Amino acid sequence: MGRIAIISVDGHVKASRAQYRDYIEKKYLEVYDKQVKAAEEAGLRDAGNLHMDFDPAVQWDSDLRMKNLESKGVVAEVLFPNGRPFQVNGLDDFARSENVELAEEGRRAYNRWLVDFCSLAPERRRGQMQISLEDVDRAVDDIYWAKEHGLGGIGLPAPPAGTFFFDPRFDPVWAAAEEAGLVISQHGGAGLPGFSPPGFAAILTIMTENAFFSSRSLWQLIAGGVFDRFPNLKMAYIETQLMFLIPAIANLDMILGADNDVMGFARMMNRDRSVQRLASEYFQTNIFVGVSPFSPRQIPTHAASGMDAMGELLGITSEQRSLPGFHIGVDACMFGVDYPHFESIFERVSEEVADLVGAPGVTEDDVHKVLFENAAEVYGFDLAALQPDIERIGFETGDLLVTASA
C-alpha cells in the first residue's frame, strides 16, 4: 500500500536559555538572568527532561531535530513543553514558578517562541498552546491567539485549587476550543501534586499516581456533560498511561447503563441527567488516546482494538471476535515517540512499529490509523502536503517485518 511514516503525538521542545531571553519582556530580564546564572553555576544542563545521550540542542535546533526524527521515519510531531522561563522545578514538563506573575511571563515567552519554532516547518509541527485556567477570560483569548498564530492545539493545565473540570465556569474555554477547531490535549503529569522532598518514594508515587491525575479530567468532563454541550469538542490524552483510564470508563458505563438507577437519582435531585451517552461512546466522537512511549507492551493490541487476536486466523467474523467490555479501539489510538525524554522510544521506533504490524489480527488499515491517520485527523495535519516527505523518509511495513525477523 506504499510507503508510510509516523506522526508522533508526543514531542517536547524548549528554547535555549539564550534564545528565551529574546522573548521575555525587559522588566523581567534581571530576574531571568539571575536564575540562569544560578543554574549555570550549579552545573545544570540546559536540558529539562532529556535523555543523557541526546544533544540538548535537539530541543530547539529545528534542522537537527528534523534530521534525527526523519532517520526513524517520523514525518511530523505534536509538541509539548520541556521547560519554560522562570521554571523552578527541574525535570517537570509542567512549569512551576515562584509567583503568578513570573508564571504568566514564562508561559507567554514560551508560546511566542513556540510559534516561531513551528513556523520553521509549518506542515510538520503542531505546537500546543500553554494556557492557565486561573483567568477564564484570558484563557479564551489565548485560545483564539493560538488559532490566529498557527498553533495546533491547547495544552490542558490543572484547574485552580478547589475547582473541577466540570465547573460551568470553564464552559467558555470549551466553547472557544470548539469554535476555533483546536483539540485540547491532556499530557501526562498535568495536575500531579508536587512531591517533596525528591527521592525514591516520591518517584515511585509519581510513577503510580501520574496515571490517575493525568486522566482525571476525562471522567470529570464526561460526568459534567461537557461533550454533550459541546459536541464538536475534541480531547486527546497523551502519555497518560491507561491503568486508571480504562477501568474508570468501564465503571462509568456500568453506572450509566440502562439497568441502573442513575436517572432516578438525577430526578430525585430535581435536575436533568447531564450525560446523554455511555462514557465509552464519547471515544467514538470526541476522545483520542496517544499511547506514549508507544509499545504493544503498554497496551496489548487486542486490548486496544477490542478484538480477539486469534479469531481472524481461525476465520471468525469481526462481530464474533469482539471482546466484551470497554476498549479504546484503533480509531482512537495514536503513536507517541516522546522525543527527547529519557523514556523515549527513539532508539527502538522500528522495533515497536514492527511489533504492532506483526501482531495477530492487526490489519494494514489499523496500522495506518495508529501511526498517522488518527493524528492527522485530530491535529489537522495535511496528509497530501506531507506525502513528498513520507515518500522520502517513510518505510514499507513489510520491510519492518523482514528486519525484525532477521
What does the pLDDT look like over 59-95, one tens digit per residue? 999 999 999 999 999 999 999 999 999 887 665 666 6
Q: Give yes or no for residue 122 having a pLDDT over 90.
A: yes
CA 133 to each of CA 49, 167, 171, 272: distance values in angstroms, whole numbers, following the listed order = 25, 11, 11, 27
Task: Return the closest-CA partner of residue 402 out of 336, 353, 363.
Answer: 353
Work out how many domains the chain is built from and give that number.
1
Q: What is the rounded CA–CA span in Å between residue 39 and residue 95?
A: 16
- The whole domain housing 352 covers 6-405
Range in 28-32, 77-81, 362-366 with the lowest mean pLDDT: 362-366
Average pLDDT, the chain: 87
pLDDT of 265:
53
CATH of the domain at 291: 3.20.20.140
Exposure on the CB side of residue 328, measured as CA atoms within 13 A: 27
Structural domain contains residue 1: no
Q: What is the rounded CA–CA span in Å between residue 127 and residue 154?
A: 8
Exposure on the CB side of residue 32, measured as CA atoms within 13 A: 22
pLDDT band (50, 70, 90) for residue 12: very high
- Enumerate helices (H) and strands (E) in the chain, giving the number of each: 17, 8
Structural domain contains residue 190: yes
Q: What is the rounded CA–CA span in Å between residue 261 and residue 264?
A: 5
pLDDT of 331:
93
Structural domain contains residue 67: yes
Structural domain contains residue 210: yes
Per-position DSSP letters for 254-286, written without gaps between them: HHHSTTSSHHHHHHHTTS--S--S-GGGGGGTT
Q: For the chain, how are helix, strand and coil distributed in percent, rounded to 5?
A: 50, 10, 40
pLDDT of 261:
57
Mean pLDDT of 260-269: 53
Q: Give yes or no for residue 316 having a pLDDT over 60.
A: no
Q: Which tens digit of pLDDT belongs to each residue from 154-204?
A: 999 989 988 999 999 999 999 999 999 999 999 987 777 766 666 778 778
Per-position DSSP letters for 81-145, written without gaps between them: ES--TT--SSS-SS---SSHHHHHHHHHHHHHHHHHHHHTSTTTEEEEEE--SSSHHHHHHHHHH
Q: Which residues contact 258 (CB under 8 A, 6 or more apart)?
A: none
Mean pLDDT of 7-11: 98
Structural domain contains residue 45: yes
Cα dihedral 70/120/33/131 (nearest 10)? -90
Structural domain contains residue 42: yes
Instruction: Tally Cβ neighbours within 10 Å of residue 49.
Output: 21
pLDDT of 197:
60
Q: Give yes or no for residue 319 having a pLDDT over 60.
A: no
- Cβ contact 3:390 at 8 Å: yes
- Cβ contact 72:346 at 8 Å: yes
Structural domain contains residue 337: yes
Q: Give yes or no for residue 356 having a pLDDT over 70.
A: yes
pLDDT of 178:
98
- Cβ contact 276:230 at 8 Å: no
Per-residue cell: 128: 500546543
Q: Which residues contact 230 (CB under 8 A, 6 or more apart)?
A: 171, 174, 175, 178
pLDDT band (50, 70, 90) for residue 98: low
| Maximum pairwise Cα distance, the chain | 70
Instruction: List the strands of the sheet with 287-291, edge to edge.
Output: 6-13, 74-81, 125-130, 153-155, 184-187, 235-238, 287-291, 333-335
pLDDT of 254:
87
Q: Which tens digit of pLDDT belongs to each residue from 238-254?
A: 998 888 888 899 999 98
Helix axes 100-119, 136-148, angle to 10 degrees: 10
Structural domain contains residue 209: yes
